[in-house]
Each structure stands twice: as structure tokens, then as C-alpha cells.
Structure 1
Amino acid sequence: MLMLFSMFFGAGNLIFPPILGASSGDGFPMAITGFLITGVALPIITVIAVAITGKDVQELAARGGRIFGLAFPVAVYLALGAAYALPRTAVVSYSSAVTPVTGFDGALSAAIFSVLFFSVALALAFDPNGIVDRLGKYLTPALLTLLAVLIFLSVTGLMGEPPAASGDYADNALAAGLIEGYMTMDSLAAMAFGIVVLSSLRQKGVETGPALVKGVSASAIGAGVVLVAVYVGLGMVGQIFPGSENYTDGAALLSDAANTTMGFTGVILFGGIVLLACLTTAAGLIGATCQFFHKIIPSVSYRTWAVFFAGASVIVSTLGLDVVLSIAAPIIGFLYPIAITLVAITIIEPLLGRKLHWTFRAALTVVTIWAALMTAEEMGADVSPLIGWAPGYDLQLGWMIPAAVTILAGIIVDYFVRPDRAVPIGGEHQVEAELRGSKADEEALIDAIHSAQEIFDEDVDTVDLDQAIEETEQHVESLRRAEQEARERLAMVKAARKQARQSLTTLRHAKKRKVGTPAE
């Protein structure tokens, strides 16, 4: 739980809530509610969606087709890696933790800091099996302690009145909060972090299937509870800090709040918070990103990928945050609607108990086209006649109605044209899903058999023989159907075992051919 929290709570998460508190005025309750929906609830649901597939974001995206199943994860991990999120952690750490304390503000000192920063993050991420222990045991408790001290002293020591609502918060505080949480990128990050949590639980002996989903869900919900407490606390700091309406940078607001309540010691304290928040996020991003790219290109080792992304992030971070944001913003805006649609259908599928083949493909196609048009408009193209009619267009949410309509139509099509097969959960094989799906029917059948047996334990003179005969005939028919279904399942199991044996033979032959080649 703490490991997942530390991964989510990075640079963007630290600076958004204070500005929300400063800008929302009396609308703070509605604004923070919107922020928590998209900044906490949506990422938690995304982690659970990854757990439902039982694998990673590539397996999640594969439901949209072969090309989509590769292109989308690559784009997500590049956005979370050297293209944006990783460099941002170093840039924000330097501007918030180093410059206020040391006074250094030059390009050379920023470059030196980036090298040191990513060297530490790289050391944490070099061993993918050790990320959980390293983050959970050491960095996260320190981070939570620092946050608790800052929030407590600020809330008890500052007596400012909430400023008047401004900007979008004055018009619609809930909608503005939704957008603010949407821009934290945490739903995209959740796709990457989900596989790290899955790997940790599997190493602890949690098997595939519903148990794995429950384990991941518990970790995600626990992290969400901590995030809610932290976000509300940081938002309250923005509400009560005198003159907070004059700030546009959440990091500067928090730094001044720390300075006001604790003096220069407070500035150092805030610097430690920012540094730890960004460092834990960077380590998690490197770990998740390198696991993914090592999977699709196994000839390049995990450590090689880690060094590459850390080095690339050092280079990009020297460009400055404004340049990084200008490059990444169109990419992030394109990916988010697709990610949310993918997660929504993944959650719906097991609830309906039917594979939604055409639903995935149709909805993702429509949303991808719509997101591309939105991105083109952001870059200057005039496409408003095509997408401007949709509700939520002004809030960049116009894609939701087309997505919902396509999902509904896809579900109807799947119900008519697709076979009724169980949905694998938590990395199950299709056979396992079929067997699990029939468990409830089998239990009901056993109860019926016991009921029939009770008839013969009673005095025959007290039994309605006609009714007993009819019920027993029904039981016999049920047993016949169960026997037939069991034979079909057994055939599926045998076929799966045969396929597994063939794969094992192929792997053994491959190993023999590879004798003499150094292992990775």
C-alpha cells in the first residue's frame, strides 16, 4: 500500500492541491471532491483494471487489437518515461528543494543535480524485485512524516481566510476540480505501477485469479485513503495561507507556508518533502518502464533500459519544465481519453460475464479518432465543426458521449454475435475461468442432490410420490447435463495440457541451442 502511495505521490500531486485550495474559495468542498474523483478514484480503478487482466498494460491494451495492443503501451510508457514524467521529477525537485535552500539557479548546477538525482533513482530501480522493500520501508514513512508535520503546523499556525473563487472555479468548482485531477497523469501512471504491484504479490505467493485481484484492490484502496488525506490537507493549506490567491505555483505556495510556520527550517522541511516525493516517483517510473520495454525487447536487459531512460531523462530535464510541458502536453491529452475508455470497458467486462470483443475495438477506435482531433485542435487545426457539438467540449470531455454510445452499441453486438464464455480474471487461463464460472451451478446441483437424498430418509407414506418423482427426474437430467459439461471441460483441460507440453518441449530445445550463451 505505502509503496503504491509513494509512486503516485510525485511532483504534480504535490503542487496541484494547494493551488486548488487557493483558487476555489468557498467552492473548495466541491473542487476537492472533483479532484479526488479523477486524481484518486480513477487511478485506483485503473490499477484494479490492470489486475483483472492479471498481466500488464500491454495485455490490457491487447483487447483493442494487435496494433493497438503494442502502440498504445509504448506511447504510455514513453510519456511516463523520458518524454515527460521522469524529467519533470528532477526539474521540480531542483526548483523546489535545491534553489530555495542553496540559492543555486544556474544551468550547470541544474545539470549536476539531475545527474545525482537520477543516479539515486537508478540505484533504487536497478533491482525490480527490491523496489517494494526499498520504497516501503524507508522512503515512504519518511515522506508521510514530513507531510504530516507540514500540514499540521500550517493548519494550526495559519489564520488566513479563504480567498474568493477565481477562474474556472468561480464558474463550476466541481468541473474545475475534475480537470485538475485529470491533469495529474495518475491514471496513465497507474497502468505502469499496476504491474509492479502484481509482481510483488506473485513473489509473495498470491496465485492468479480473483485472489490476485483482491490483493491488488486492497493495496490500491489503501493507497487511495492515504492520498485523500494528504490532498485534503494540502488543499486546506492553500485555503488558509494569507495571500494565497496571488500564487500560480503550488510549490512556491507550500515553500512559503513552510517558511512562515517554521522559518528556514520549514524551507528545508519542504525541500525534503519535494525531493522524496519526486525521488520515489522516479524510481517507480524507471522500474515499471524498464520492465515493459525489457518484455517487448528481451534482448536488451532490464538494467540497460534503466540506464538508457535515466540518461535520457537527465538530458531532457536540462531543457526546463516549460519546454518539457510544451512537448508532452499534446501527447498526454491524446492518451488520456483512450486510457479511460480502455479501463472502463475492462471493469465492465467481468461484471457482465461476457467477453466484449467488438466493444473494445469499436469504442477504442472511436475514442482514438476523437482524441486525435482534439490534439490537432490544440495544435492549431480548425476541427470544431467535427467535435464542437459534443457536451463537455469546452472542458475537453467531449469524447465521453461518443465513447458511451459506442460502448453500449458494442455490448449489444457482442451479446448477439459472440459466444457466451467466462471472462478470465487476474491472469487466469480460459479453462480456469470456465471452471470457476461453473462453480456456482455445481454448488446448486450438489444442494439439489442432497435435497433428493432427504426424500428417501423420510417415511414414504408421508411423501408426495408424484412430486418426488418429478423432482428426482429433474435431478437426473441436471446430473446428465453436468456430466456432459464436465466432459467438455476435461477435453479443454487436456488440450491446454497438450499445448503446455508442446511449449515446454520448444523451450527445452531452445535452451539446448543456447548452451554456451551467457545468461542475461
Structure 2
Amino acid sequence: MSDTVASPAKSKSASPLITILIASLMLFSMFFGAGNLIFPPMVGVSSGTNFWPAIIGFLIAGVLLPVAAIVSIAISGYSVRDLAGRGGLFFGIAFSVMAYLSIGAFYALPRTGAVSMETAITPLLGWEGTAANGIFNVIFFGIALALSWKPNNVIDILGRFLTPALVILLIALITLAVTNYERIPGTPTEAYESSPLVTGLFEGYNTMDAIAGLAFGIVIISSLRAKGFGRGGTLIRSTIITGIIAGTLLAAIYLGLGYMAQTVPDGQSYESGAILLADSAKLTMGTPGQTVFSLIVVLACLTTAVGLITSTSEFFNS
């Protein structure tokens, strides 16, 4: 990998405002992985008429906590180790290593490849089995590694290209589903009937973005510094604004996915948000819709994999 932190260099092609906007799209794409795509629809169909308290709970854990994590990193120093180090040297190192391994090599990173194969490639192309999985994961993580090779270019790769494509596809899917089907909330399931806010809160935490926010802070700060934001108050304010914009976009997409799920006929019969979304895409757009959904899943997982590889490698390199 290249150097962890680039020396600050003024961006010659974009104003500070445009740079912050692109960084916000990059952060959104790193947060928005497979779990972020499939959890909100299940909250929508399972909560039924208790949709609003459930989705508010989801947004608290899935948006507010990750944004708070980014803000904490910006204020406390440079990385999660700076923040955790206030609890002592051993705790700072141990907590940081556990956080990066849990969202990286031990769980979240392999999941991006597995979910891409299971929910995008196999339903569309019919490929399955050990050999197909192995070949796909070599290609998938090879592309992710290539995109992650120069950390200072991540803000341009994700913010300028991959994220806009992902957001456009998501908006197209949500809009078509909402305009083609009537929203009919069902009866809440047992968990959402008794405590919809708390159940939604747990589902939002399952996205793992509260921990990922601590890890992704290093990428945002490095990228903004490389674009000429230097250190001090300007960098802190820019990082906080980036987190807020990314969080706002996350909240809008989560609301759209949860609302859209309640337009799918017999939505509560689905056990997986991935299958529900795939069927919704196929119902609204036919086979091309299924292709669109596959592209959404692969892009969501790929952008998250790039963010995880970059942030984890920068941490362990330091």
C-alpha cells in the first residue's frame, strides 16, 4: 500500500465546497454496504403500522451513532486510537485492533463478497458452488484492492464515480416501486408491536456502522488533508460537515427503502430483505430490474469493501 497519510496538497480542480460534497458521497458509499441495503426493507415490512417509531429507532443507531463517531474522531484527534487512547495505552490499542478486525478481515469484509455472490450473481446468472464462489471473490476483491491501492485517490474514485452511480440506481428502484404499487402497511410482528423503537434501534446497530464510523474517520481526515484542508479547526469543521451530509443521505435512502418495502405485495412473507428487493425490482422492471438490483448490490458491497480495506490498512500501517 502507499503511504498512509499524504502530505497536504491544495486541490487544483475543485473548490472546498465541492471537495466536501464529494467526500460526503465517498463516506456514504463506505457506510452503505450489504446490510444497509437489506435491513431497512425488513424493518419496513415487519413494523407495519408501527413504521415510524421503528424507522426512527433504526435511524438513531444506523445514522446518528455513525455520524457521532465521525464527529468524535474529528474532535479527538486523527483516528479511533486517539479517541480510545484516553482510556489508557493498552485499552486504546486493544479496542482499536478489535474494532478494525471486526469490521474488516474477521467479519464485515468477507461478507461484502459473500452477499454480492448470494444476492446479485447467483439469482441473475445462476452461478453457484465452491468454484464459482472462489472465482467471483478473487475478481471482486481484486477490483476492491486495485481501487484501494492509493488511499488518497479514494475520495475521487468513490465520491466522483461509484457513489453517484449507486445513488442513481437506488433512487430509480425506490421511485419505480413507490409509484407502481400502493403502500399498504401490515400488522406489526410481535417484536415491533411491543417495542418498535427499541427493535428498530437494534436493527440499525446491526449495520455495524457505529463501529465503522470510528474506523472510517481516518480515511475522511486523510482524504481531506490530501485535498488541502490542512490541520486544526478547518479540518475538524470540514470532517463534521462531511459526516452530517453523508448521514442525511443515508437517512433519506433508509426511509425510501423502508417505505418502498411496504408497497411490495405480501411483503411480510419474505424472510430476507435481499429477496424482497430483488422481487420488487423484477416486479417493477422485469429482468432489467433484476439486473439493476444486482448492480446496486455489487456497487454497495464494492464501495464498502474499498472503504474497509483502505481504513484497515491505514490503521495497521500506522
Q: Distance in 1 between matches of 2:190 and 2:42?
A: 12
Q: Distance in 2 between matches of 1:217 and 1:91?
A: 32
Q: Distance in 1 between matches of 2:257 and 2:172?
A: 12
- State the shift of 1:248 in Å: 1.5
Correspondent of 1:34 among 57, 62, 80:
57
Aligned to 2:207, what secondary structure does the other structure show? coil
CA offset digits 1:230-289 (Å, max 9, x no partner):
000000121121111011210000000000111111100000000000000000100000
Residue 23 of structure 2 is aligned to residue 10 of structure 1: no
Aligned to 1:248, what secondary structure does the other structure show? coil
Match for residue 236 of structure 1?
259
Aligned to 2:69, what secondary structure does the other structure show? helix
AA paired with 2:274? A
Match for residue 277 of structure 2?
254
Please give the TM-score of this superposition, normalised by the length of structure 2. 0.91
Match for residue 138 of structure 2?
115
Percent of residue pairs bearing the same amino acid type: 52
Match for residue 97 of structure 2?
74
- State the shift of 1:209 in Å: 2.4
Match for residue 278 of structure 1?
301
Match for residue 151 of structure 1?
174
Aligned to 2:229, what secondary structure does the other structure show? coil
Decide whether the 8 Å contact of 1:2 with 1:223 is kept in 2.
Answer: yes
Q: Distance in 2 between matches of 1:138 and 1:55?
A: 27
Q: Distance in 2 between matches of 1:211 and 1:293?
A: 27
Q: Distance in 2 between matches of 1:197 and 1:154?
A: 34
- State the shift of 1:90 in Å: 0.5
Residue 316 of structure 2 is aligned to residue 293 of structure 1: yes
Describe how 1:134-145 pairs up with structure 2 within 5 A: 134-145=157-168
Q: Distance in 2 between matches of 1:213 and 1:45?
A: 13
- State the shift of 1:53 in Å: 1.8
Aligned to 2:262, what secondary structure does the other structure show? helix
CA offset digits 1:30-49 (Å, max 9, x no partner):
11111001100110010010
Describe how 1:194-273 pairs up with structure 2 within 5 A: 194-273=217-296
- State the shift of 1:210 in Å: 2.3
AA paired with 1:230? I
Decide whether the 8 Å contact of 1:46 with 1:191 is kept in 2.
Answer: yes
CA offset digits 1:464-485 (Å, max 9, x no partner):
xxxxxxxxxxxxxxxxxxxxxx
Describe how 1:43-442 pairs up with structure 2 within 5 A: 43-159=66-182, 161-295=184-318
Q: Distance in 2 between matches of 1:11 and 1:204?
A: 29
Q: Distance in 1 between matches of 2:161 and 2:227?
A: 20
Q: Distance in 2 between matches of 1:204 and 1:255?
A: 39
Decide whether the 8 Å contact of 1:160 with 1:242 is kept in 2.
Answer: no
Q: Distance in 2 between matches of 1:20 and 1:184?
A: 12
Q: Distance in 1 between matches of 2:136 and 2:230?
A: 42
AA paired with 1:238? A
Aligned to 2:184, what secondary structure does the other structure show? coil
Q: Distance in 2 between matches of 1:23 and 1:105?
A: 30
Residue 48 of structure 2 is aligned to residue 25 of structure 1: yes
Consecutive unaligned residues in structure 2, runs of 5 or more: 1-23
User: Which of structure 1's runs of 4+ aligned residues deviate more than 6 A?
Assistant: none
AA paired with 1:280? T
Decide whether the 8 Å contact of 1:54 with 1:198 is kept in 2.
Answer: no
Decide whether the 8 Å contact of 2:183 with 2:259 is kept in 1.
Answer: no
AA paired with 1:179? F
AA paired with 2:82? E
Decide whether the 8 Å contact of 1:54 with 1:208 is kept in 2.
Answer: no
- State the shift of 1:12 in Å: 0.6
Aligned to 2:228, what secondary structure does the other structure show? coil
Higher relative contact order (CA 8 A, sep 6+): 2
- State the shift of 1:160 in Å: 5.1
Aligned to 1:240, what secondary structure does the other structure show? coil
Please give the TM-score of this superposition, normalised by the length of structure 1. 0.56
